Chains A and B, each alone.
Chain A
Amino acid sequence: MSQKTVMPGFRPTIGFTLLYLSLIVLIPLSTLIFESFKLTWDDYIHIITSKRILSSFQVSFTAALIAAAVASIFGFITAWVLVRYSFFGKNIFHALIDLPFALPTAVAGIVLATLFQPSGLLGKFLLSIFGIQVAFKPLGIVIALIFISIPFVVRTVEPVLLEFETSMEEAGSSLGATRWQVFTKIIFPNIFPALLTGFALSFARGVGEYGSVIFIAGNIPYVSEIVPLLIVIKLEQFDIPGATAIALTMLVISFLLLLVINLLQYWARKRSGQL
C-alpha cells in the first residue's frame, strides 16, 4: 500500500476475498489446465478433430452467431422504441425484457420445445404455412439462443440511447440532413459500440448455453448437437480427458473471441470519437 489511509479492514477483507476467490474460482478452473497436461498434443488433436466434435463446434458457433445477429437487430429496435416512444403498457413491456435473465433455462427450454415442436402452437403453424420445422433442427437452437440474447442487447444499448444528446441530431438536421441521414451518420455510429458489446455478450452466452437449448435441439449427432452437450456426453461415458479437451478448447476460443470483440469495440469507439 502506497498511501496511508484511515479506512479500517484492509487485511481481513482482502484476505477473505483472495481466499474465497481461490477456493471457488481459481483452483477449480485451474484443474482444467492441469488435467489437459495429462494429454499429449497428438491425443488432444485426435480428440478435437473427430468429426462429431468438429460438427458440434460448427453448430454451436454458427447458431450463436446467427442468434446474436438477429437479437441485435430486434433488440436495437426494441431499445429504440423503449427510449424514444411512449405507448400504452410500456412499463410492463420494459420489465418483461429481463424475463430471459430471470427465467431458469430449463423452464425456457421445455416451453420453447413445446411451443415449436411440430404439434405445438407455433410449430404447427410454421410447418403448415411455411413448411419450416423449427424444433429438433439447428433452427431450434437459434430460436432458443435468440430468447436468451434479448436482454443482453436491449440492456446494453438502452443506457447509451438514453444518454445520447438530441442536440447532435438537431444540429445535423438544421444543417439540412434528412432523418435517415441523421440516423445513419450521427445516431447509429454513436450507438454502434454498445450494440457491438450487446452482440458480443449474446454470442459468448450463446456458445456456452445448455439448458434452454437441449430440449428444442433434438440433439442429433453431426446435425444439432451443441458443444456443451458433448462435454456432458463425454462425462457420462467417464471420458474425462475427452471432456477436458473439449472444455478447454471452448474456453480458449471464447476468450479469444471476446478479445477480438473488445478490440473491435475499441476501434469503433475511437472511430466515433468516444475515446
Chain B
Amino acid sequence: MSSHIQQIKNAKVVNKSSTTQDPVWVRCILITISIAFISLFICVPLGLVIFQAFSKGITAYFSALAQPDTLAAIKLTLTVALVTVPLNTLFGVAAAWTITRFDFPGKSLLTTLIDLPFSVSPVISGLIFVLLFGAQGWFGEWLMAHDIKIIFAAPGIILATIFITFPFVARQLIPLMQEMGHQEEEAALSLGASGWRTFFSVTLPNIKWALLYGVLLCNARAMGEFGAVSVVSGHIRGMTNTLPLHVEVSYNDYDVIGAFASASILAGLAIVTLILKTFLEWKQATR
C-alpha cells in the first residue's frame, strides 16, 4: 500500500515537471542560442568600444577627450539635456494629471497624439524644424531679419531633442496614475489640503519611482539622439556638435581613438542608465 502511494507521488512529480518544463536538451539548446545571440549583438559591441578607445593606451584616450572640440561637444550635450529634460518632465506630469484625473471629450485622441513623436523617423523630426525655421522655412526670413539663429545653432538642436523625447515621462506616468485612482487625493482635499499640498504629499510619493524612470529614459535619449540633431545641427565643430555628432565627425575623419573615446563616454552613460533602470524597476516592483 505504502509503495503504491509512493509510486503515485513519484508519478505526480514526474508528470508535473514534464508538463510545464522542457526536456534538458531543449533547455540547453535554447539557452545557448539566446546567450550566443545576445553576446554577438550586445556584449561584443560593448566590449569593442572600450577596446578601441584604449587601443593606443590611456594617454591617447585622455588626450582625445581633452581636445577642445570634444569638451565643447560634451558641454553642448549637457546643455541640451539640461533644458530638455525639465521641460518634458513638467509636461509629462501636467499631461498625466489632466488625462488621469479628469474626463473630457477627446481624451483618447490626446493620449494618442502624445505618443506621436515615437512613430516619426528621427530624420523627419529634424526636417520639420528646418521647414519651420530654416532659411527657406516659414519663419526663415523673419528670423534672418532679426538676426536670430535657430537652425544650425543650439536652439534648433534643443527643439529637435524636445520633440524626440516628448512622450517619455508622460508615458510612464499615465498608466500608473490611471491604475492608482484618485481616492487618496480626494481624501486629502476633503481634509482641507490645498491642490499643491495634495500633489506634493500624496501624489508625488506614489509616482516618484515611475517619474524618475521616465526622467532617466528621457535623459538617456536626449544625450544620445543622433538623427534628428544631425539634420538641424550643421556639424560646426566646437559649436554645434553634440557628443553623438562628434563621434560621427571623428569617425569619418578616420580619428579612431577620438571617435571611440567619445563613444566610450556615451556607452558609459548607457551602462549607468541600465543600472539605474534595473534599480528603479526593482523599487517600483517592491512599492
For A209, the chain B residues whose CB sits under 8 A away are: 121-122, 227
Q: How would residues 116 to 160 of chain B score, 1 for a CB under 8 Å from any chain A CB and 0 otherwise?
A: 110111111001111110101110000000000000000000010
In the complex, whether B74 has a CB less than 8 A from a CB of chain A is: no
Stretch of B3-11, B64-72, B184-192, B207-215 at the chain-chain interface: B184-192
Per the bound structure, the CA–CA distance linking A81 and B35 in Å amounts to 9
User: In the complex the two chains form, is B131's CB within 8 Å of A102's CB?
Assistant: no
User: In the complex the two chains form, is A250's CB within 8 Å of B124's CB?
Assistant: yes
In the complex, whether A31 has a CB less than 8 A from a CB of chain B is: yes
For A101, the chain B residues whose CB sits under 8 A away are: 217, 220
In the complex, whether B195 has a CB less than 8 A from a CB of chain A is: yes
- Among the listed B110, B132, B185, B224, which residue makes an inter-chain contact with A104, where contact means beta carbons less than 8 Å apart? B224
For A32, the chain B residues whose CB sits under 8 A away are: 124, 127-128, 131
- Among the listed B131, B134, B245, which residue makes an inter-chain contact with A106, where contact means beta carbons less than 8 Å apart? B245
Question: Which one of A35, A110, A146, A173 has the greatest number of beta carbons of chain B within 10 Å?
Answer: A110
Q: How would residues 38 to 60 of chain B score, 1 for a CB under 8 Å from any chain A CB and 0 otherwise?
A: 10111111101100100000000
User: In the complex the two chains form, is A13's CB within 8 Å of B97's CB?
Assistant: yes
Per the bound structure, the CA–CA distance linking A209 and B137 in Å amounts to 25
B248's nearest neighbour on chain A, judged by CB, is A106
In the complex, whether A103 has a CB less than 8 A from a CB of chain B is: yes
In the complex, whether A129 has a CB less than 8 A from a CB of chain B is: no
In the complex, whether A26 has a CB less than 8 A from a CB of chain B is: yes
Per the bound structure, the CA–CA distance linking A194 and B87 in Å amounts to 33
Total A-B Cβ pairs within 8 A: 278
User: In the complex the two chains form, is B244's CB within 8 Å of A104's CB?
Assistant: yes
User: In the complex the two chains form, is B123's CB within 8 Å of A232's CB?
Assistant: yes
- Among the listed A26, A74, A106, A174, which residue makes an inter-chain contact with B37, where contact means beta carbons less than 8 Å apart? A74
Per the bound structure, the CA–CA distance linking A112 and B166 in Å amounts to 28
- Among the listed B38, B117, B190, which residue makes an inter-chain contact with A97, where contact means beta carbons less than 8 Å apart? B38
Per the bound structure, the CA–CA distance linking A250 and B97 in Å amounts to 34
Given A1-B104, A105-B226, A170-B19, answer yes or no on A95-B48 (Cβ-Cβ < 8 Å): no
Per the bound structure, the CA–CA distance linking A174 and B20 in Å amounts to 11
- Please report which residues of chain A, range 235-253, place their CB below 8 angstroms from some CB of chain B when the two chains form the complex: 235, 238, 240, 243-244, 247, 250-251
Minimum distance in angstroms from A141 CB to a CB of chain B: 15
User: In the complex the two chains form, is A102's CB within 8 Å of B270's CB?
Assistant: yes
- Among the listed B18, B22, B49, B163, which residue makes an inter-chain contact with A28, where contact means beta carbons less than 8 Å apart? B163
For B119, the chain A residues whose CB sits under 8 A away are: 204, 254-255, 258
Given A7-B185, A26-B113, A208-B120, answer yes or no on A104-B226 (Cβ-Cβ < 8 Å): yes
User: In the complex the two chains form, is A16's CB within 8 Å of B263's CB?
Assistant: no
Per the bound structure, the CA–CA distance linking A148 and B99 in Å amounts to 31
Q: Count B-side interface residues using an 8 Å CB cutoff.
A: 100
User: In the complex the two chains form, is A169's CB within 8 Å of B48's CB?
Assistant: no
For B44, the chain A residues whose CB sits under 8 A away are: 115, 121-122
For B19, the chain A residues whose CB sits under 8 A away are: 166, 169-170, 172-174, 179, 182
In the complex, whether A136 has a CB less than 8 A from a CB of chain B is: no
Q: How would residues 244 to 262 of chain B score, 1 for a CB under 8 Å from any chain A CB and 0 otherwise?
A: 1101100100000001100
Given A104-B270, A169-B20, answer yes or no on A207-B121 (Cβ-Cβ < 8 Å): yes
User: In the complex the two chains form, is A24's CB within 8 Å of B124's CB?
Assistant: no
Question: Which one of A1, A174, A210 has the greatest number of beta carbons of chain B within 10 Å?
Answer: A210
User: In the complex the two chains form, is A17's CB within 8 Å of B98's CB?
Assistant: yes
For A130, the chain B residues whose CB sits under 8 A away are: none
Minimum distance in angstroms from A226 CB to a CB of chain B: 9
In the complex, whether A108 has a CB less than 8 A from a CB of chain B is: yes
In the complex, whether B103 has a CB less than 8 A from a CB of chain A is: yes
A-B contact pairs, 18 of them (CB 8 A): A1-B104, A5-B101, A7-B101, A8-B198, A12-B94, A17-B94, A17-B99, A18-B110, A28-B159, A29-B116, A87-B31, A97-B42, A104-B223, A106-B263, A114-B48, A169-B19, A208-B124, A255-B119
Residues of A within 8 A of B (CB): 1-3, 5-10, 12-14, 16-18, 20-21, 24-29, 31-32, 35, 74, 77-78, 80-82, 84-85, 87, 93, 95-112, 114-115, 121-122, 146-147, 150, 166, 169-170, 172-174, 179, 182, 204, 207-211, 215, 227-229, 231-232, 235, 238, 240, 243-244, 247, 250-251, 254-255, 258
Residues of B within 8 A of A (CB): 15-16, 18-23, 27, 30-31, 33-35, 37-38, 40-46, 48-49, 52, 87, 90-91, 94-95, 97-99, 101-104, 110, 113-114, 116-117, 119-124, 127-132, 134, 136-138, 159, 162-163, 166, 182, 185-186, 189-190, 194-195, 198-199, 217, 220, 223-227, 230-231, 243-245, 247-248, 251, 259-260, 263, 266-267, 269-271, 273-275, 277-278
Q: Which 7 A-B pairs have the closest CB atoms?
A: A208-B121, A104-B224, A8-B195, A211-B226, A210-B227, A102-B270, A173-B19
